Chain A
Amino acid sequence: MKDVHKWYGSYHALDDINLTIAPREKVVLCGPSGSGKSTLIRCINRLETHQSGRIVVGGIELNDEEDRIDEVRREVGMVFQHFNLFPHLTILQNCILAPLWVRKTPKKQAIDQAMHFLERVRIPEQANKFPGQLSGGQQQRVAIARALCMSPRIMLFDEPTSALDPEMVKEVLDTMVSLAREGMTMVCVTHEMGFARQVADRVIFMDQGRIVEEGKPAEFFDNPQNERSKLFLSQILH
């Protein structure tokens, strides 16, 4: 990302973002609400459009060309705060939908692959249930499996645990930790500082659309430089 700006009307949502993420790197984005962290990762798969600057994902520059956008989206998986599972489809159907229609994977192979990932998030036995029958934590793990079924090279997480009951947060974080250990490139908006310490290579703190501070998690948490980061950390860490 180079010199990226985005406005909503007159509101400056992203202000001069420069950011490079290496393959296999795990980046955690944090910051107060409205600071632009969600907007930032939604620009990576162009759920939001940026107005100036350049965004290059896996060597492909994002602009209005639909083929490029499709290519990027195939390589970038995303997990949302509210899961966004398709309630009219079973868990298995949720997982094979995109491989069937986007990657044109044969159905048999798509199912095998889906079951493989459902096993990895430890809920293969729920495959034929509908999302509404699962708990929030289970739904979010399905959402992770669904994204993995497209064999993405990058995974984006947009506050994946914020809508969950406290006791379900751990099961989702455990899944994310194991994914990180396998070397997935991850960009994660989260306030789970334990998770950030454990797996992140870099923590980025944003405020008012700007990257205010970035660094290794140990440095950032133990010795924040910026006043705004200090205030933020003191408020969430008590």
Chain B
Amino acid sequence: MIATFILSHPKATKRIGGSVAIVLLAAMLYWMGVGPGWLQPFLPGALQSPGASRVAAAIVISLLIALNWKVLGLLPRLYQVGAVWAELFALLLLFFYSFNLSFSFIAKKIGFLITQGVVTTLYISVISIVIATIIALIGAIAKLSKNGVVYGLASFYTSLFRGLPLLMQIYIIYLGLPQVGYVIGAIPAGILALSLCYGAYMTEIFRAGIESIPKGQTEGATALGLRPNHTMFLVILPQAMRVIIPPTGNQFIAMLKDSSLVSVVGVWEIMYLARTMGQKEFRHIEMLITASMIYWLLSIALEIIQARIEERFGRSLKR
């Protein structure tokens, strides 16, 4: 009966739905404990009971949000996106501002955080990304191999390194390898752990990408006399890239941030510096927020690069 009503009265449904959403939003804000303090200047004296004033605050905020939604609806799409980003970013800044941050402290420390921390993080991430990609390529081909030994090696590898927490892998490599007589530095240990772990995830991405290409492509290439390695690198992989790139971009962004785990073995990358530099003067939150913003900026840069590459590989398949 409700379904019939929704289908036969779309406009009424929309209006009712909108009102319900506003009421729910107000209820949620009330439940979250929105304070009425900021309403005082507008409604002096009207808000005596604390309960009523909180209800009023919640309703006013939800109405403002609804109004905002309506106004944004009038804009063209591109402006909508920009406006939403600007609004949310402003809210985020407001949130940070509420911590009463010491900007002079940030200004004093940010130089070293960038020259030492960002450089180390990028250095570790870029090398790990390159190695992980190579591992993934080899792993994917191995996983598709008919040879049982090769498949066994590859499947054990992906299972182990996807199954252990990355933090554990970093400890095991850094503390475990010296036990068998191979002393490894903190940075190489971090790079090794990141490459192996992400190589394992990406092996699966590459394998799925390669498998997504129809069998006819391999047959066509084979019938032309191309050897399996030529078929893979000239015919299959260039097509599989289109499927592989979006999730791989995800992995790169995740790896960039997971490189912060390497701080546990004392590598001076962003996370480590943020923690230690804040410690001395009890300004933890300043450094952590600064570091977060740096990670975000780096991720945005990766997103942009990913979009570019995607465009390049998608080009020929457009009609």
Which range contains the number of B residues in contact with the other chain? Answer: 20 to 34
Q: Is the CB of A73 within 8 A of B317?
A: no
A88 to B221, CA, bound (A): 13
* Interface: A132 (CB within 8 A): yes
Q: Quick one: CB contact mask for B303-319 with A, threshold 8 Å, 1 for yes?
A: 00000000000001111
Q: Are B224 and A89 in contact (CB under 8 A)?
A: no
Q: Are the C-beta atoms of A147 and B219 separated by less than 8 Å?
A: no
Contacts of A232 in B (CB 8 A): none
- The interface residues of chain B lying within 8 Å CB-to-CB of A47 are 219, 222-223
Judged by a CB distance under 8 angstroms, whether A209 is at the interface is: no
A82, A130, A150: which contacts B224 (Cβ < 8 A)? A150
Question: What's the Cα separation between A77 and B238 when bound, in Å?
Answer: 24
Residue B216 lies at the interface, judged by CB distance under 8 Å to chain A: yes
Least Cβ–Cβ distance between B290 and chain A, in angstroms: 44
Report the stretch among A53-61, A94-102, A177-185 that lies at the interface: A94-102
A82-117 vs B, CB cutoff 8 Å, 1 = contact: the mask equals 111111111000000110011000000000000000
Q: Does B13 contact A (CB under 8 A)?
A: no
How far apart are the CA atoms of A87 and B220 in the complex, in Å? 12
Contact status B317-A132, CB under 8 Å: yes
| Cross-chain contact B216 with A80 (CB below 8 angstroms) | yes
Nearest CB on A from B237, distance (A): 10
Q: How large is the interface on A (under 10, 10 to 19, 20 to 34, 35 or more residues)?
A: 20 to 34
- Complex: how many Å from CA A86 to CA B223? 13
Distance (whole angstroms) from the CB of A87 to the closest CB of chain B: 6
Q: Is B284 among interface residues, defined by CB-CB distance under 8 A? A: no
Contact, CB under 8 Å: B226 / A102: yes
| CB <8 Å contact, A84 and B234 | no
Q: Tell which of B219, B222, B224, B316 has the most Cβ of chain A within 10 Å.
A: B224
**A88 close to B225 (CB less than 8 A):** no
CB distance from A1 to the nearest CB of B (A): 18
Contact of B217 among A45, A84, A102 (CB under 8 A): A84
Distance in angstroms from B88 CB to nearest chain A CB is: 38
Pick from B219, B220, B316: contact of A88, CB below 8 A. Answer: B316
Is A119 part of the binding interface, using a Cβ–Cβ cutoff of 8 Å?
A: no
A90 to B318 Cα, complex, angstroms: 12
Distance in Å: Cβ of B228 to nearest Cβ of chain A: 9
From B220, B316, B317, name the one whose CB has the most chain A CB atoms within 10 angstroms. B220
CA distance A36 to B317 in the complex (A): 35
Given A86-B235, A88-B238, A88-B239, residue A150 in contact with residue B225 (CB < 8 A): yes
Which B residue's beta carbon lies closest to that of A99?
B224
Interface hub of B216, B316, B318, B319 (most chain A Cβ within 10 A): B316
B227 within 8 A of A: yes
Known pairs A73-B224, A101-B234. 20 more at Cβ < 8 A? A47-B223, A70-B227, A73-B225, A77-B224, A78-B223, A80-B216, A84-B217, A84-B223, A86-B217, A86-B221, A87-B239, A97-B226, A97-B234, A98-B224, A98-B225, A102-B224, A102-B227, A130-B316, A143-B220, A150-B225
- The 3 closest A-B CB pairs, nearest first, are A84-B220, A98-B224, A78-B223
A-B CB contact pairs (8 Å), 14 listed: A70-B225, A73-B223, A83-B220, A84-B217, A86-B235, A87-B316, A88-B239, A97-B235, A98-B226, A101-B226, A101-B230, A130-B316, A132-B319, A150-B225
A interface residues with partner B (beta carbon < 8 Å): 45, 47, 70, 73-74, 76-78, 80, 82-90, 97-98, 101-102, 130, 132-133, 143, 146-147, 150, 156
